[in-house]
Amino acid sequence: MNNDTIISVEGLTKRFGDFTAVDSISFQVGKGEIFGFLGANGAGKTTAMRMLCGLSMPTSGKASVAGFDIYKQTEEIKRNIGYMSQKFSLYEDLTVRENIRFYAGIYGKTNSFIKEKTAFVLKQLHLEKDADKLVRSLPLGWKQKLAFSVAIFHEPQIVFLDEPTGGVDPVTRREFWNMIYKAAEDGITVFVTTHYMDEAEYCDRVSIMVDGRIDALDTPSGLKSNLKASSMDEVFLMLARKAKRTGD
């Protein structure tokens, strides 16, 4: 592991009873990288991501995230990362402003930091006029962008995004990715799962999980040339076809 490595994983495994959901995966992610974590339904992405976020104990293997050990330093990991799950965790019955305030409070930020950053986020999202509306009244794409802004509000070293753009149109997904690029430019490492292959093309490197194992890991162009494929769609189909799991 060198100084530019921010996530280091070696032989990481998670079993549920007799079933091996994540089967000895190893990889490293560099600081500031946009790292795509792909795989068919049930491949083990969420399970792996939850271990890296300090939310689930591994069965075996090693990993460090932002310099912290995933067995012993889960609280430090949680303070240094942002996490946006598929069912992102905004409170529908709180306003936009209250949601921001709530999450900022969890990370113990000062009032002046919260005030200044809230104004910045509302402006960036063009939500100034809607700041006091309930989150439930926002369209899905806006909720996703707000959830992302909230996940990186405390300026974490890494943000983990689990299918952040599910269910929205391509234009909204493109806008969401502009926010991801901006976060990466600001030095935040992005670890993202997606089912959309156009999004895989936006990543610096992509790993593809098949039945709990990492089957391929390279830049999108490296994967395409190794497999003689013309698109990431084709790469994914070639690898995912081998999968025995069907997801749930």
**Which residues here bind ligand ATP, judged by CB under 6 A?**
16, 19, 21, 39, 41-47, 245, 247-248
Would you give the DSSP letter of residue 66? T
CA distance 32 to 139: 30
CA distance 163 to 83: 11
User: First CA to last CA across the chain, in angstroms?
Assistant: 36
Would you give the DSSP letter of residue 243? -
> How many separate helices (H) and strands (E) can be counted in the chain?
9, 10
Closest separation in Å from C-beta 178 to ligand ATP? 24
Q: At what angle do helices 170-185 and 140-151 cross, to 10 degrees?
A: 10
Closest separation in Å from C-beta 199 to ligand ATP? 14
Six token digits for residue 239: 């690898």
Question: With respect to ligand ATP, which residue has the nearer C-beta, 46 or 80?
Answer: 46
Please report, for residues 143, 145, 161, 164, the alpha-carbon distance to residue 139 in angstroms, rounded to integers and kept in the order given.
6, 10, 19, 14
Closest separation in Å from C-beta 40 to ligand ATP? 7
Question: With respect to ligand ATP, which residue has the nearer C-beta, 43 or 70?
Answer: 43
Question: With respect to ligand ATP, which residue has the nearer C-beta, 21 or 216?
Answer: 21
Question: With respect to ligand ATP, which residue has the nearer C-beta, 33 or 163?
Answer: 163
Closest separation in Å from C-beta 17 to ligand ATP? 7
Residues 6 or more apart whose CB falls under 8 angstroms from that of 229 comprise: 223, 235, 238
Question: Amino acid identity, residue 42?
Answer: G
Closest separation in Å from C-beta 66 to ligand ATP? 22
Q: Is 131 helix (H, G, I), strand (E, B) or coil?
A: coil
Question: With respect to ligand ATP, which residue has the nearer C-beta, 36 or 44?
Answer: 44
Q: What is the CA radius of gyration of the chain?
A: 18
Question: With respect to ligand ATP, which residue has the nearer C-beta, 16 or 91?
Answer: 16
Backbone φ, ψ for residue 173 (5° rounding): -65, -40
Question: With respect to ligand ATP, which residue has the nearer C-beta, 33 or 162?
Answer: 162
Closest separation in Å from C-beta 24 to ligand ATP? 15
Closest separation in Å from C-beta 58 to ligand ATP? 13
